[in-house]
Amino acid sequence: MSDIIERVSDKLKIPRWWVKAIAIEYTECRDYVTRDKIWTFNFNKITQEELEKAVSEHKVILHDFLFHNVHPAVLQNRMIDRMAGGVTVPLAEHSADVIPEGLVSKHYIPFQANPINVEDPKLGFSTHCQVFDNGHLYQWEIAKFVHVEGRRYGKFTSDYVNLEPFEEMQSKLRDLMNNFVKPSEIGHEGYKARVEAYYKQLDDIRRPILKELLQVHHKKLASVGEHSKVPKYQPSILSHFERFTVKNNDIQTKLYAEPIFYRGCWYHAKRAEKLYSSLRKDHETVDKLDLVYQERATAIILGVACFEAFINGLGFDNYPEIWKHIEQISIMKKCSIYFELSGKDSSLFNTGIEPYLSLKELIKKRDELIHFKRKYHPISHEISGVKTHIEKLLPHEFIRIFPEKLKESIERFCRDNDLNVPNWLVPQPNLQWMEFMGK
């Protein structure tokens, strides 16, 4: 960052990004057509006095937008996951929780899609404007970017300001870009003059828009009630499966537990399978059998926890007033009730056939584990050999297949109720947990 921007920021105690944005929008800080673009930023062209004056006089900028109420590491991780097709839940309950509409929280993050050596912000527009007014930072959505039929690029439209003159300038910009003349080529001086004239004309269009947006800010500010999305404390780290909202300036979080339980179920089932297949001799079995049972029991408990979290999540999301009264009933009964509430034939939830048959068996085993009674049981004599009660409760064959049956049960439940299958149910590329699933 330029020294002059840092000096002005430090002197006026205003964030560096704001001082830089003011310089970009309101000062002569560019060299034209000196390299491979029509602009090159050169903040050394302006004096400290000029920059301080610009910062003092101007209150409105068109930065891409600001985020707030989210930890920077969480925001970065979620954005990367979204681009890579990763498995997460939506970050915020409402847009204004994370993208300010009005007063901006003290814990905010300026976001700009491209660095200024790649894209000059002044050549484009934004869906949001930012206002620094009486020591407070505000952001308002003032435009939308819409598709234009018959062409490959869209345009900005606004209910607050007339953007047609700016739209007309875009065709001139494309003409300049498509007919670029390098400094070493014939006609460069004339081309440079055209670029400088373009920026001058662009200023003549943008300045009135920015002044009008300041009036929009004052009108919006006068019409809003109390600001309820500006907590005083900083946001916390969230997992991939936590979502947040802000109510009465208080950050609240919600965990989608089912994907965590689902991954844990697969992990422990595969661990049990690996341990079991490694047993070769009786003394090895004695040494590791407790660990095998531990992994199997954990897999079963987490598997049922996954499905129960899944059905409760659907119930509270779609039928909250009813669901809060049926929390204590069985999982299987909840499933039947959900079918009825959604207007589906509850006979589709047939626990006598797969995959619901295995789901029913899974829940039965979980219930016995959770309500385990330490008492004697007879040893079972079978063709495959003698088996203890715990071996029959946690059989190798069932542990090996039930995670897949759990997945099929959730998929089937979603199809029967016209619901989208949750994305966490489908393994995604580059996720380490797939290793535990044996994929």
Q: State whether 83 and 220 are in the same domain.
A: yes
User: How many other CB atoms sit within 10 Å of the CB of residue 431?
Assistant: 17
The alpha carbons of the chain give a radius of gyration, in whole angstroms, of 31
- Domain assignment present for residue 28? The answer is no
Q: Is 33 within a domain?
A: no
Please check whether residues 207 and 279 belong to one and the same domain.
no
* Count of the separate structural domains present in the chain: 2
Residues 413 and 342 in one domain: yes
Judge if 357 and 212 occupy the same domain: no
* In a shared domain, residues 93 and 214: yes
CB-count burial class (<10 Å; 0-12, 13-18, 19+) for 250: exposed
Among 240, 275, 310, the domain boundary falls at 240
pLDDT for residue 431? 43
Whole-angstrom distance, CA of residue 431 vs CA of residue 417: 29
Quote the distance between the C-alpha of residue 202 and its chain's center: 35
Q: Which of 177, 207, 240 is the last residue of a domain?
A: 240
Q: Check residue 285 and give its pLDDT.
A: 80
- 331 and 221 in a single domain? The answer is no
Is 73:79 a contact under the CB 8 Å cutoff?
no
Please indicate, yes or no, whether residues 305 and 389 belong to a single structural domain of this protein. yes
Within a domain: residue 288? yes
Which of residues 240, 275, 305 is at a domain's end? 240
Query: Which residues are CB-neighbours of 67 under 8 A, at least 6 positions away?
Result: 75, 98, 99, 108, 109, 111
Residues 346, 393 within the same domain: yes
Are the CB atoms for 306 and 258 separated by under 8 Å? Answer: yes
CA distance linking residue 261 with residue 263, whole number of Å: 6
Per-residue DSSP letters for 88-146? Answer: ---SBSSHHHHS-SEEPPSSEEEE-SS-TTT--GGGS--SEEEEEETTEEEEEE--EEE
Q: Phi/psi at 62 (nearest 5 deg)?
A: -120, 70
Task: Give the separation between CA 296 and CA 104, rounded to whole angstroms.
Answer: 50
Same domain, 405 and 320: yes
Digit-by-digit pLDDT tens for the chain (439 residues) are 679 999 999 999 999 999 999 999 999 999 999 989 999 999 999 999 999 999 999 999 999 999 999 999 999 999 988 887 777 788 999 999 999 999 999 999 999 999 999 999 999 999 999 999 999 999 999 999 999 888 788 899 999 999 999 999 999 999 999 999 999 999 999 999 999 999 999 999 999 999 999 999 999 999 988 889 999 999 999 999 999 999 999 999 999 999 999 999 999 999 999 999 988 777 778 889 999 999 999 999 999 999 999 999 999 999 999 999 998 899 999 999 999 999 998 888 999 999 999 999 999 999 999 999 999 999 998 887 889 999 999 999 999 999 999 999 999 999 999 999 998 887 654 444 444 344 3
Closest to 378 in 3D by CA, of 391, 365, 366, 368: 391
Smallest CA-to-CA distance from 436 within 299, 305, 310 is with 299
- Do 111 and 220 have their domain in common? yes
Q: Is the peptide bond before 355 cis (omega within 30 degrees of 0)?
A: yes
What whole-number distance in Å separates Cα of residue 346 and Cα of residue 331? 14
- Phi/psi at 394 (5° precision): -120, 60
Provide the whole-model pTM.
0.85
Within this chain, do residues 208 and 65 fall inside the same structural domain, yes or no?
A: yes
Q: Domain range spanning residue 353?
A: 256-436
What is the model's pLDDT at position 428?
Answer: 54
Q: What angle do CA 308, 367, 376 make, to 5 degrees?
A: 165
Structure token pair of residue 169: 């300038």
pLDDT given at position 432: 46
Q: Are residues 271 and 383 in the same domain?
A: yes
